[in-house]
């Protein structure tokens, strides 16, 4: 039995031990099945199909994808976005959608992690959750401005607080934009593209 790729051309034998199902590949990459499905549909991760139409992924292709697009990627081509949010599901959703648009994404689960990430490589844009335990997003924004200067690294903040006060505060504090949570992903992408086009 052999697999054919999405274009119907390349074939590979099934007796190789490194073939993964959709679920296994998603787990291997640490993303949702819907995310890897989207990446396959747009050609970012090669997928092969069984005669029954099931997707299969070669481990070496997944490793190559991680090297190109993962946290330690060396071949970054798009602008670097740092996503700081204590909710891993939000970070995954934002990362997957930004990467599909050509951005290189780094994640931080707290303000402390975010500030530490800035030491290695200042990003082109920071997406920052306001409501985080210990050090909140406003304090991190202040630290970023002290270290790099106001506006040197553009910041879009998001929060579950959507009162008028919360919406007007970000710009007064030097942020470039504000989104209420749960946010409209398209609006987030539009704001990111406006500030740092790919």
- Tell me the per-residue pLDDT of 76-132, one tens digit each, with 9 for 90 and over: 468 999 999 999 988 988 988 898 888 999 999 999 999 988 887 789 999 999 888
> Quick check: 75 pLDDT over 70?
no
Residue 66 pLDDT: 77
Per residue in 1-15, pLDDT (tens digit) is 444 444 444 444 444
What is the secondary structure of the chain as a DSSP string?
Answer: -EEEETTS--EEETT-TTEEEHHHHHHHHTS-HHHHHHHHHTTSS--EE-TTS-EEEEHHHHHHHHHHHSTT-S---SPEEEEE-S-HHHHHHHHHHHHHTT-EEEEESSHHHHHHHHHH---SEEEEES--SSS-HHHHHHHHHHHH-TTTS-EEEEES--SHHHHHHHHHTT-SEEEESS--HHHHHHHHHHHS--
Q: Average model confidence (pLDDT) for the chain?
A: 79
CATH of domain 80-195: 3.40.50.2300
pLDDT at residue 192 greater than cutoff 50: yes
Q: Is the pLDDT of residue 73 over 80?
A: no
Q: What is the CATH number of domain 2-69?
A: 1.10.1660.10
Q: Where are the domains of the chain?
A: 2-69, 80-195
Q: What is the mean pLDDT of residues 139-162?
A: 85
Q: Using one digit for the tens of pLDDT, what is the confidence trace for 162-182?
A: 544 444 555 556 688 888 777
Q: What is the pLDDT of residues 6-50, one digit of tens each?
A: 444 444 444 445 899 999 988 888 888 888 887 787 677 888 888
Global model pTM greater than 0.85: no
Structure tokens at 190: 């539009």
Q: Are 150 and 124 in contact (CB under 8 A)?
A: no
* Per-residue pLDDT, 172: 55
Position 16 scores a pLDDT of: 47
């Amino acid at each position: 039995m052999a697999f054919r790729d999405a274009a119907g051309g390349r074939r590979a034998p099934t007796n190789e031990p490194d073939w993964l199902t959709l679920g296994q590949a998603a787990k291997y990459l640490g993303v949702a099945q819907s995310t890897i499905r989207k990446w396959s549909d747009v050609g970012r991760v090669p997928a092969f199909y069984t005669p029954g139409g099931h997707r299969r992924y070669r481990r070496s292709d997944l490793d190559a994808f991680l090297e190109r697009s993962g946290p330690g990627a060396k071949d970054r081509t798009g602008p670097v976005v740092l996503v700081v949010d204590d909710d891993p599901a939000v970070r995954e959703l934002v990362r997957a959608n930004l990467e599909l648009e050509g951005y290189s994404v780094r994640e931080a689960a707290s303000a402390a992690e975010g500030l530490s990430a800035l030491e290695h490589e200042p990003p082109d844009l920071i997406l920052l959750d306001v409501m985080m335990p210990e050090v909140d997003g406003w304090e991190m924004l202040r630290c970023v401005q002290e270290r790099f200067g106001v506006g040197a690294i553009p910041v879009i903040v998001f929060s579950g607080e959507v009162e008028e006060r919360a919406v007007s505060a970000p710009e007064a504090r030097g942020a470039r934009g504000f989104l209420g949570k749960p946010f409209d992903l398209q609006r987030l992408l539009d704001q990111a593209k406006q500030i740092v086009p790919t």
